[in-house]
Amino acid sequence: MGITGALIFENNRFGQVIEGPRSQIEDLWAKIQKDTRHKNIRLVESRPIEHRSFSKWTMVFQGSEEVAKKLPEIAVAVENANFPVGHPLLIALRDLK
C-alpha cells in the first residue's frame, strides 16, 4: 500500500502521522529533515502498528477556522477528514509549549 498518513494543524503547529513500511518511512523522514522549508522538526513517536489509522492521506485543521477562511481550498480539502479525536498526535500538539 505504500505510505499513508495525516497532516494536521493544531495549536499553531503542524504535525504529521506517517504510516507504511519502515524503510519507506525512514527514507521519507530523511527527506523531511533535509527540507529547508521545515523548521523545528521533532519526532514524537516511532513504533510498529498492527493497523493503519489512515488508509489515504488526510489533512486536518483542528481549531483553525481563521486559517480555513483565509485558505478556502484547504477548508474544502479537509472537510471530509475523519481524524480520531483522541489521537496521540492531537494530544502532543496541544501539549507543546
Q: Going from the N-terminus, what domains does the chain have, and what CATH number goes with each?
A: 4-95 (3.30.70.100)
pLDDT of residue 34: 94
Q: What is the mean pLDDT of residues 38-65?
A: 76
Give 6's contacts (C-beta < 8 A, 6+ positions apart): 16, 17, 53, 54, 57, 58, 59, 60, 81, 83, 89
pLDDT of residue 76: 53
Q: Which residues partner with 81 through β-bridges?
A: none
Q: With a threshold of 0.85, does the pTM exceed it?
A: no
Q: What is the mean pLDDT of residues 43-65?
A: 73
